[in-house]
Amino acid sequence: MHAWLCENPIGVDALVWKELPTPEPQADEVRVAIRAASLNFPDLLIVQNKYQMKPPLPFVPGSEYAGGVEAVGAGVKHLKVGDAVAAFGGTGGFATHALPKAALVMPLPPGFAFDDASAFVLTYGTTHHALLDRAALKAGETVLVLGAAGGVGTAAIQIAKAVGARVIAATSSDAKCALCTELGADATINYGGDNLAKLRDEIKRLTDGKGPDVVYDPVGGDLAEPVFRSIAWRGRYLVVGFAQGGIPALPWNLALLKGASIVGVFWGEFARREPQANAAALTQLAQWYAQGKVKPVIDQRLPMVDLPKAFAHMGSRQVRGKLVMTNA
């Protein structure tokens, strides 16, 4: 097998593409021949030692991937050789083969393409947990999605529309806003450059002065405070991530004045602590995929050896939807 190995977590340049012995699964593992692995922002953070999870060195980055089961550990009951699967292992995906715990592997229904499946479990699982579980988003409510043209952002547009919510998609450019409109967003806001100063006015205009009921925020930084100041009475502000780099600090009186909640979202921990609730969410998402209600937006497919190019594209804020690395 070959894998991108992180021996020193000082950044993408230190990753090396190495040949390694093909491993045999332990009792609770399976070996997956990887066909596709998608990039998630945490993959970029983890190779720089900036992510909350710090795996022992060396490790293979790549948090979600899909492929075929090649070997099954003695204790594994729900999977067999030849099954098409998606896996969320946290690491291991940027390789030709991986050994995920079987509990973190989902058999794919017929017709589920590997490149879509590689961009599904974490990306859509996070967003389903955020919008439907943590924020209890309802049909007819308005959700404001920040960074709406990115991986979890595009998933948020689709999931919110699937439950009948109104979506305002906010991004840093007109081109990204246009993609969000194509995906079904009801309105868009470009907060790039000087537009940031007008963000609150735009939110007010698009919500008749009421503000969004739910905010989905994977960006953080200097967007959070003006947006939280604009939230509706009883609003729910979902803290999903900090792609801009800065962790916002808010005056707590704002929460009091709006009767609003700041709601944390940590899908990996949810999946570990509440596996049955997570499995139910993934089942609903797979049904929505089969019905065409959700489908990963794939920006580019690149050969696995081109991982550094893909990381550069993500780090320079250019991704629209998902980047997928493939093995022939």
Strand-pair partners of 144: 168, 215
* Helix or strand holding residue 286 (H, E): helix 275-290
Span interacting with ligand NAP, options 8-16, 21-29, 108-116, 264-272, rule CB under 6 A: 264-272
Give the contacts of 274 (CB within 8 A, at least 6 positions apart): none
Span interacting with ligand NAP, options 10-18, 20-28, 89-97, 313-321, rule CB under 6 A: 313-321
Residue 314 lies near ligand NAP (rule: CB under 6 A): yes
In the list 171, 188, 278, 327, the residue contacting ligand NAP (rule: CB under 6 A) is 171
In the list 161, 176, 236, 295, the residue contacting ligand NAP (rule: CB under 6 A) is 176
At 76 the three-state DSSP class reads coil
Span interacting with ligand NAP, options 68-76, 98-106, 278-286, 314-322, rule CB under 6 A: 314-322
Residue 189 lies near ligand NAP (rule: CB under 6 A): no
Kindly compute the dihedral angle of the four CA atoms of residues 61, 65, 70, 76, in this order, to the nearest 10 degrees: 90
DSSP 29: B
**Closer Cβ to ligand NAP, 4 or 242, answer by number:** 242
DSSP 1: -
> Could you tell me if 35 and 114 are in contact, meaning their C-beta atoms sit under 8 angstroms apart?
yes
For residues 26 and 322, give the distance between their C-alpha atoms in angstroms, rounded to a whole number.
Answer: 32
Give the contacts of 291 (CB within 8 A, at least 6 positions apart): none
Residue 278 lies near ligand NAP (rule: CB under 6 A): no
**Closer Cβ to ligand NAP, 25 or 100, answer by number:** 100
Span interacting with ligand NAP, options 71-79, 160-168, 228-236, 243-251, rule CB under 6 A: 243-251
- Interface contacts to ligand NAP, rule CB under 6 A: 40-42, 122, 126, 147, 149-153, 171-172, 176, 218-219, 240-245, 265-268, 314, 317, 319
